[in-house]
């Protein structure tokens, strides 16, 4: 069927023009239908864009004017937008059908106001004014004053224009980047852009002694972009427009500027804040908002009944200079060099502004933590001082306790000393007598002298041990063999034991028992336990008074067991005897075992007491951790 339709005779086939007309008619009818449906009180505003809705900077102006107008207007508004595609080229031929189209579109319901955005739109309406809604007011805006033919404005026309000042832009570039040697100007090739090329070149003249200008008059934009990627140092780019390039390629929206920014190796400046916001360093600029507000004010007056021709708005110049902080950072531009009154936008909010509460919170936590740490450190110091003090006091107490023990041993020590001293006296007298006799036996004399030496050593040994027991010495742990300490202590206690009729036996482990211990303090514990045992056996039958000291090695510990044949620990007092001031002796202080336990605790050991089953008597057991390194040394040997 379609094939058949396509092959109909050329006379019968509708011409292209007829089809176009049909489509136009349908579009017009549809639009009119919509217009009928609209609010009857609404003011109809037709917006005529120069190139299209999204060409910068006019797209920004159109949007802002719409919103400003909606804000200022007392009436509901019905916006209808059209774009003047003819502005892209110098071909004015399609203007007539476009005028026809608009006239047909609004034949029944003409707009209340036409707002032309940009110079091409203004030029178009001025050219076509006699045919285009002669009685409808027209507001020409977002246009530079040089682009308006003021002498041919009708009484229904008004202009809200701006005034470019390229010299101010070039001057700003040289002010903020004083080393600039080249200014590259980006500008398109549409009739409007071509007009401005001449204007910019004229305004650039006074700067030519200071800086070299580069104008891309006959280059496709692609080639310009290539060049922009490797510009010589000390170059700045002045962005004017790039709507249509030399080859006729169109750059809608912000695509032209965005692509330039992506490749350019130099800072980009401009003259209109419709371009500002990402790519542009800044400078003195037209304010889209200010221009749109002025335009909206004029529009509202016209909609309210004022004659357009009576509204005179002087062209506005650049607003206060504005700069993009991020671009200033990128190109190392000091804020001190900015023109007076400059505003800096997009400043990175400081960490304080961004995270104030988090920072306050973290600081508070830190302060709290620091405070707690301070308190803890202070407490730790106090505890250390207290510990040192306690240790010092304990040392003194232990020392006093040793004095007490020495007091208890005085008789036997005196006896221990008397014996060798008496022997020395007798032997020396005998030797003297022998020397007086004419024929003395030298061999016998030598034996006597040897006895004297032995007795002297014995007495010296007693005194040495006593002195070491009474020494006021700080706690000093060394690796010692428990067996040696036991032997030494038993030697020391043999005389007192004999004096009390106690037999002192020892059974030593066949292996060394290295422990990390303070010799004097460990001996003090042993002497204390031995003395207690002897005291406990004071009423035991003499022949049965026996103390056996044995040592043994367990897996990790060395053990000393001291068993006596006395009455044993009073029932239920096995733990109490280690409490301070627990004593059953009439002259006792009850401190000995308490000190002994503190000493053993300080050696990371344990001391227990129990009663022997069967044979009777008490057993004291001291368990000390073996010194590890010493144990492995021994194992290796
Ligand atoms: P003190 O010797 O001044 O009494 P200790 O702390 O050395 O102080 O002894 C506390 C108590 O423990 C002794 O009074 C005694 O009642 C009991 N005790 C200690 N050793 C023995 C023991 N071998 N047999 C029986 N009781 C003992």
Question: pLDDT (tens digit, 9 = 90+) per residue, 28-55?
Answer: 555 554 444 456 678 999 999 987 777 8
For residue 529, which atom of ligand 1 is closest to its CA? 20
619 and 482 inside one domain? yes
601 and 514 inside one domain? yes
268 and 414 inside one domain? no
122 and 100 inside one domain? yes
pLDDT band at 13 (very low <50, low <70, confident <90, very high): very low
Q: What is the Cα–Cα distance from 363 to 375, expressed in whole angstroms?
A: 18
Q: Which one, of 462, 362, 464, lies nearest residue 418 by Cα?
A: 462
Radius of gyration of the chain (CA): 58
CATH code (residue 60): 3.40.50.2300
- Helix ranges (H only) for 548-627 are 592-602
Q: Which one, of 293, 319, 495, 327, lies nearest residue 412 by Cα?
A: 495
Q: What is the Cα–Cα distance from 621 to 526, expressed in whole angstroms?
A: 10
Q: Whose CA is nearest to atom 23 of ligand 1?
A: 533
Q: What is the DSSP string of 110-125?
A: --SEEEEESHHHHHHH
Q: Which one, of 96, 102, 127, lies nearest residue 114 by Cα?
A: 102
Question: What pLDDT, on a 0 to 100 scale, did the predictor assign at position 21?
Answer: 54
User: Average pLDDT, stretch 464-481?
Assistant: 83
Model confidence pTM above 0.75? no
pLDDT at 101 over 80: yes
Q: What is the Cα–Cα distance from 555 to 364, expressed in whole angstroms?
A: 53
Q: How far is the CA of 19 from the centre of ligand 1 (A)?
A: 129
Q: What is the Cα–Cα distance from 360 to 14, expressed in whole angstroms?
A: 79
Q: What is the Cα–Cα distance from 57 to 293, expressed in whole angstroms?
A: 16
66 and 139 inside one domain? yes
Provide the domain count of the chain. Answer: 5
Question: What pLDDT, on a 0 to 100 scale, did the predictor assign at position 27?
Answer: 55
User: Average pLDDT, stretch 162-166?
Assistant: 96
613 and 477 inside one domain? yes
> Longest Cα pair distance anywhere in the chain, in angstroms?
181
pLDDT band at 22 (very low <50, low <70, confident <90, very high): low
Structure tokens at 99: 């005028």
337, part of any domain: no
Most informative mutation of 524, 534, 583, 608 for ligand 1 (most atoms within 8 A of CB): 583
Least confident among 261-275, 352-366, 393-407, 450-464: 393-407
Q: How far is the CA of 590 from the centre of ligand 1 (A)?
A: 7
Q: CA torsion 305→315→57→147, rounded to 10°?
A: 100
628 and 530 inside one domain? yes
415 and 552 inside one domain? no
Q: What is the DSSP string of 324-389?
A: EHHHHHHTT--GGGSPTT-EEESPPPPHHHHSHHHHHHHHHHHHHHHHHHHHHHHHHHHHHHHHHH
434 and 530 inside one domain? no
156 and 248 inside one domain? no
390 and 465 inside one domain? no
87, part of any domain: yes
Q: Whose CA is nearest to atom 22 of ligand 1?
A: 533
- Contact (CB, 8 A) for 95 and 121: no
Q: What is the Cα–Cα distance from 537 to 541, expressed in whole angstroms?
A: 8
- Contact (CB, 8 A) for 291 and 298: no
Q: How far is the CA of 597 from the centre of ligand 1 (A)?
A: 13
Q: Whose CA is nearest to atom 14 of ligand 1?
A: 583
Residues whose CB falls within 8 Å of the CB of residue 177, separated by 6 or more in sequence, listed in order? 234, 236, 267, 331, 333
295, part of any domain: no
- Secondary structure of the chain: what % helix, strand, coil (to 5)? 50, 20, 30
Q: Which one, of 191, 204, 270, 346, lies nearest residue 256 by Cα?
A: 270
Residues whose CB falls within 8 Å of the CB of residue 368, separated by 6 or more in sequence, listed in order? none
Question: What pLDDT, on a 0 to 100 scale, did the predictor assign at position 625?
Answer: 96
477 and 591 inside one domain? yes
Question: What pLDDT, on a 0 to 100 scale, did the predictor assign at position 23?
Answer: 55
Question: What pLDDT, on a 0 to 100 scale, did the predictor assign at position 56?
Answer: 80
* Domain span holding position 38: 16-162
Q: What is the DSSP string of 130-182?
A: TTS-TTS-EEEEEEEGGGS-GGG--TTEEEEEE---HHHHHHHHHHHSTT--E
Most informative mutation of 535, 569, 577, 600 for ligand 1 (most atoms within 8 A of CB): 577
pLDDT at 384 over 60: yes
Q: Whose CA is nearest to atom 12 of ligand 1?
A: 577
Q: What is the Cα–Cα distance from 240 to 398, expressed in whole angstroms?
A: 98
pLDDT at 12 over 50: no
Q: How far is CA 325 from the centre of its chain?
A: 25
Residues whose CB falls within 8 Å of the CB of residue 391, separated by 6 or more in sequence, listed in order? 475
- What stretch of H or E contains 607? strand 606-611
Residues whose CB falls within 8 Å of the CB of residue 270, separated by 6 or more in sequence, listed in order? 169, 238, 239, 240, 276, 280, 283, 285
Q: Whose CA is nearest to atom 7 of ligand 1?
A: 592
Ligand 1 neighbours (beta carbon < 6 A): 528, 532-533, 536, 564, 566, 568-569, 577, 582-585, 588-594, 618
292, part of any domain: no
Question: Which three-class secondary structure state does DSSP give residue 254?
Answer: coil
């Amino acid at each position: 069927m379609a094939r058949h339709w396509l092959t109909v005779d050329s006379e019968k086939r509708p011409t292209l023009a007829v089809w176009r007309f049909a489509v136009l008619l349908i579009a017009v009818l549809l639009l009119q239908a919509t217009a009928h449906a609209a609010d009857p009180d609404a003011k109809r505003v037709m917006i005529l864009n120069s190139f299209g809705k999204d060409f910068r900077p006019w797209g920004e102006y159109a949007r802002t004017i719409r919103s400003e107008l909606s804000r200022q207007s007392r009436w509901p508004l019905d916006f209808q937008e059209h774009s003047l595609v003819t502005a892209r080229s110098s071909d004015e031929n399609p203007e007539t059908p476009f005028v026809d189209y608009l006239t047909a579109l609004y034949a029944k319901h003409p707009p209340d106001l036409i707002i032309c955005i940009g110079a091409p739109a203004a030029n178009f309406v001025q050219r076509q004014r006699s045919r285009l809604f002669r009685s409808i007011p027209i507001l020409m805006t977002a246009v530079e004053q040089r682009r308006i033919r003021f002498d041919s404005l009708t009484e229904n026309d008004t202009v809200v224009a701006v005034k470019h000042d390229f010299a101010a832009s070039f001057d700003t570039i040289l002010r903020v980047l004083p080393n600039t040697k080249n200014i590259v100007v980006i500008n398109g090739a549409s009739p409007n852009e071509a007009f401005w090329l001449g204007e910019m070149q004229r305004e650039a003249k006074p700067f030519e002694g200071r800086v070299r200008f580069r104008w891309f008059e006959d280059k496709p934009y692609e080639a310009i972009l290539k060049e922009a990627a490797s510009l010589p140092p000390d170059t700045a780019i002045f962005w004017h427009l790039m709507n249509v390039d030399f080859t006729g390629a169109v750059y809608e929206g912000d695509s032209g500027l965005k692509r330039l920014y992506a490749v350019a190796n130099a800072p980009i400046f401009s003259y209109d804040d419709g371009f500002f916001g990402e790519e542009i360093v800044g400078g003195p600029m037209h304010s889209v908002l200010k221009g749109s507000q002025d335009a909206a004010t004029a529009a509202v007056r016209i909609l309210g009944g004022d004659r357009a021709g009576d509204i005179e708005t002087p062209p506005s110049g650049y607003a206060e200079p504005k700069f993009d902080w991020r671009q200033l950072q990128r190109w190392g531009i000091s804020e001190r060099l900015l023109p007076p009154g400059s505003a800096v936008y997009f400043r990175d909010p400081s960490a304080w502004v961004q995270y104030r509460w988090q920072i306050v919170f973290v600081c508070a936590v830190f302060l709290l933590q620091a405070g707690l740490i301070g308190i803890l450190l202070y407490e730790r110091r106090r505890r250390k001082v207290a510990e040192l003090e306690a240790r010092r006091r304990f040392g003194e107490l232990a020392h006093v306790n040793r004095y007490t023990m020495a007091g208890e041993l005085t008789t036997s020590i005196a006896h221990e000393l008397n014996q060798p001293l008496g022997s020395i006296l007798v032997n020396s007298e005998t030797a003297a007598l022998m020397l007086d006799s004419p024929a003395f036996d030298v061999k016998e004399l030598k034996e006597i002298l040897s006895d004297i030496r032995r007795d002297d050593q014995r007495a010296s040994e007693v005194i040495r041990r006593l002195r070491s027991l009474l020494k006021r010495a700080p706690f000093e742990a060394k690796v010692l063999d428990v067996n040696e300490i036991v032997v030494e202590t038993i030697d020391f206690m043999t005389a007192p034991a004999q004096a009390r009729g106690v037999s002192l036996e020892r059974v030593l482990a066949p292996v060394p028992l290295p422990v990390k211990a303070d010799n004097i303090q460990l001996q003090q514990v042993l002497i204390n336990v031995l003395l207690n045992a002897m005291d406990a056996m004071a009423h035991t039958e003499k022949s049965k008074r026996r103390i056996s000291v044995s040592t043994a090695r367990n897996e990790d510990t060395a053990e000393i067991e001291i068993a006596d044949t006395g009455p044993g620990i009073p029932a239920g007092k096995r733990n109490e005897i280690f409490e301070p001031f627990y004593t059953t002796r009439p002259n006792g202080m009850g401190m000995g075992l308490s000190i002994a336990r503190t000493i053993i605790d300080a050696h990371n050991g344990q001391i227990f007491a129990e009663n022997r089953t069967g044979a009777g008597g008490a057993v004291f057991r001291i368990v000390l951790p073996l010194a590890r390194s010493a144990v492995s040394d021994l194992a290796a040997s």
